[in-house]
Amino acid sequence: MVELMETIRPTSAPPRAVSGAPLAHARVRILATADDLFYREGVHTVGVDRIIGDAHVTKATFYKYYRSKDALIVAYLNGRDKRVREFFASLEADFDTPEQRLRRLVAEISEQVMQDGFRGCPFINAAAQFTEPQHPVREAITAHREWYIAAVEDLFRGMGHVRPGDAADDFFLARDGAFAFANLGDPIAAHAALQRATWRLIDQTGQ
């Protein structure tokens, strides 16, 4: 919604100095740099020294704000989670019905998978590299997924689906599959398949 993404959209490059303008605060630069690199290259692939260099901070400054790389990964995922929640809040404000909100969610996901630089779901990508359920990174992933699934279930419940929990599960199976399909190189087919699956679920409402 993300990872929706879980911007919904991938973030832009980290803030850099322009003529006559100061760099953003060091904490902001570190997180923005990590957000960009972690999503594009993977949370295990990118090291602390790379982030320090690209963010133009010292090692002491890095550890002043983030006690470890894992703490930075959690902050990265929490930032992605925050953007998805904000997107859902905008759906509540901009659309009157649960069906309209769900259709807009699918449209946003479909736009995301078609973008250059799409690398799949940041949460799924991170989960593949942290398998211990009690690890703070994994806990951040679990918290996001539980909230996101419940939010979609509420949309189906609002539409009158007789089994909103099952519908949400089916939606996420299609959504996660579309993310993987697009990341493997066929975003058009992924976009079409997600839409077909979701419209079938909408057709079941009220039965």
Task: Identify whether 21 is part of a domain.
Answer: no
Whether 39 maps to a domain, the answer reads yes
User: Over the stretch 64-112, which tens digit does the pLDDT of each residue have?
Assistant: 999 999 999 999 999 999 999 999 999 999 999 999 999 999 999 988 8
C-alpha to C-alpha distance for 126 and 54, rounded to whole angstroms: 21
Structure tokens at 127: 């989960």
Q: What is the CATH number of the domain that holds 36?
A: 1.10.357.10
| 12 lies in some domain | no
Domain presence at residue 11: no
Tell me the residue range of the domain where 155 lies.
26-203
Rounded to whole angstroms, how far apart are CA atoms 99 and 155?
Answer: 7
Instruction: Enter the tokens of residue 191.
Output: 């976009």
How many folded domains does the chain comprise?
A: 1
Side-chain half-sphere exposure of 191, counting CA atoms within 13 A: 14
Q: Which helix (H) or strand (E) holds 123?
A: helix 122-127
**Which pLDDT tens digit goes with each residue over 122-158?**
999 999 989 899 999 999 999 999 999 999 999 999 9
Stated pTM of the model: 0.86
DSSP assignment, residue 25? P
